[in-house]
């Protein structure tokens, strides 16, 4: 497995592979890898000739400097996991390699995709995400890029950015991987206290129960129920829960009858903030 720390090193390797007619798959990450990340790598390996995984904790997508400082970093463990997974090369840049001094962020209006849910509570977050992914796409120039559906809103923003920036890249959304008790895999789970970790499976179980309730109850009733259900646990507090149209992320209204919807949630603990989502098939 090759490790490239600079753009020039990575381009030298990838240009050689492209010269042989090989396709490049790309998995961008912020490290602290888990099985969810590795599932993206494995899918990329099935669909492309060579796979690049980047590890870069992107400072422009953090609203809180403390959150950036506390984000888990474990490069040695990450490298071992990627090597075992079969990843071909790792791009491990420093911040200065990605961002020039005084460089502006992308100026893109994503509309409702960035003003609701995560975008409402983390203003500027998706601009930072879109900017770094745009930069990485320009560097790697992959055939396909792989993202987990756990960050469903982020996936929608990246698809829109790729369209607006004319990236001819197939954006592949991959199913959320979960722990045995249902908690969505996340690097932030490492920061949960034992009590928070024991409480956290309630999020997924409530999301699933809400899907069953939607067969008989209105969207507004189900939204109230799930908030009350999770907030009854002293270690969890719902920041938001919404049932949205998967393509626009607009809230589904009680008088609408979509065939599919997506339940999206963010839950606060005294430690990390947890997000999750599930697909609802309604007809």
Strand partners, 3: 90
Task: Return the structure tokens found at 166.
Answer: 């004319």
257 as an active site residue: the answer is no
Rounded distance between C-alpha atoms, residue 93 and residue 15, angstroms: 18
DSSP SS3 for 266: strand
Q: Quote helix, strand, coil % in the chain, to nearest 5.
A: 45, 20, 35
**Helices and strands per DSSP (H, E), number in the chain:** 12, 9
Residue in 12, 37, 167, 257 annotated catalytic = 37
Rounded distance between C-alpha atoms, residue 229 and residue 248, angstroms: 27
Q: Which residue has the tokens 């949205």?
A: 244
Residue 253 is given by DSSP the state P
Task: Return the structure tokens found at 117.
Answer: 């849910």
Rounded distance between C-alpha atoms, residue 165 and residue 209, angstroms: 39
Instruction: Label each residue of 37-67 as H, E or C.
Output: HHHHHHHHHHHCCEEEEEECCCHHHCCCHHH
Residue 202 is given by DSSP the state H
Q: Which helix (H) or strand (E) holds 119?
A: helix 118-121
Give all strands of the β-sheet with 237-244 in edge-to-edge order: 237-244, 260-268, 274-281
- In terms of phi and psi (left: phi > 0; alpha: psi -120 to 50; beta: otherwise), the region of 71 is beta
Catalytic residues: 37
């Amino acid at each position: 497995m090759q490790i490239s720390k600079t753009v020039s090193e990575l381009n030298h390797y990838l240009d050689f592979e492209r010269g042989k007619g090989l396709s490049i798959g790309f998995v961008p990450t912020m490290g602290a890898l888990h099985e969810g990340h590795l599932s993206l790598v494995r899918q990329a390996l099935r669909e492309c000739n060579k796979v690049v995984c980047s590890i870069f904790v992107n400072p422009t997508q953090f609203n809180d400097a403390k959150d950036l400082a506390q984000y888990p970093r474990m490069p040695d463990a990450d490298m071992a996991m990627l090597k075992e997974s079969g990843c071909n090369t790792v791009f491990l840049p420093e911040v200065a390699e990605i961002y020039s001094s005084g460089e502006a962020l992308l100026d893109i209006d994503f509309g409702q995709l960035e003003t609701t849910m995560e975008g409402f509570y983390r203003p500027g977050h998706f601009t930072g995400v879109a900017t770094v992914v745009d930069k990485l796409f320009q560097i790697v120039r992959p055939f396909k890029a792989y993202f987990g559906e756990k960050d469903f809103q982020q996936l929608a923003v990246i698809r829109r950015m790729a369209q607006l920036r004319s990236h001819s890249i197939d954006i592949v959304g991959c199913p959320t991987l979960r722990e045995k008790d249902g908690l969505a895999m996340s690097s932030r789970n490492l920061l949960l206290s034992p009590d928070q970790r024991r409480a956290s499976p309630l999020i997924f179980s409530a999301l699933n129960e809400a899907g069953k309730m939607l067969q008989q109850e209105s969207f507004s009733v189900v939204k109230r129920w799930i908030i009350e259900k999770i907030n009854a646990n002293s270690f969890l507090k719902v920041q938001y829960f919404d049932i949205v149209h998967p393509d626009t992320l607009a809230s589904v209204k009680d008088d609408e009858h979509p065939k599919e919807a997506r339940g999206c949630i963010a839950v606060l603990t005294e430690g990390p903030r947890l997000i999750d989502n599930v697909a609802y098939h309604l007809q």
